[in-house]
Amino acid sequence: MKKIEVVAGVIFWEDLVLCVQRPKNKLHYISEKFEFPGGKIEEGETKEEALHRELLEELNLSTKIKSFFFTVVHEYPDFELTMHSFMCEADSKELTLHEHIDQKWLKINELTALDWAAADIPIVDKLVSNG
């Protein structure tokens, strides 16, 4: 099974968390699901460098990476995903969607209302349980 390693940002602006929606995809199980933004780590990059680059590319958003949050390993039908998540802080809510079709800034207790990609659900659950 193909293994993919990615980074994701749990991005706060004040008490709101950024949630972004994936576009339609031939893989139905991730098509139009919400996720925490991020992407693949390129060769020679640290996880933090990859996250900074991906957030600039996908959202034109500059963030401060505060701390590592936790790692999720999830097996989708076609690949295994290892996702390292980081707590981040945005300077502004202003961003430009380059790859996603929607965005929402939600309070932590509102996160469970969205239709999340399966690999992102453990992050949502941990955020909600931590309050």
Q: What is the CATH number of the domain that holds 12?
A: 3.90.79.10
Place of tokens 């990059």: 45
H or E stretch including 122? Answer: helix 121-130
- Give the mean pLDDT of the chain: 97
pLDDT in tens, 14-42: 999 999 999 999 999 999 999 999 999 99
> How many Cβ atoms sit within 10 Å of the Cβ of residue 43?
4
DSSP 88-106: EEES-S----SS-SEEEEE
- The single-letter DSSP state of residue 114 is S
pTM value is 0.96
Q: What is the pLDDT of residue 35?
A: 98
In the chain, DSSP finds a helix count (H) and a strand count (E) of 2, 7
* Containing structural domain, residue 77: 2-130
Separation of alpha carbons 43 and 31, rounded Å: 27
Q: What is the pLDDT of residue 80?
A: 97
H or E stretch including 128? Answer: helix 121-130
Residue length, the chain? Answer: 131
The count of domains in the chain is: 1
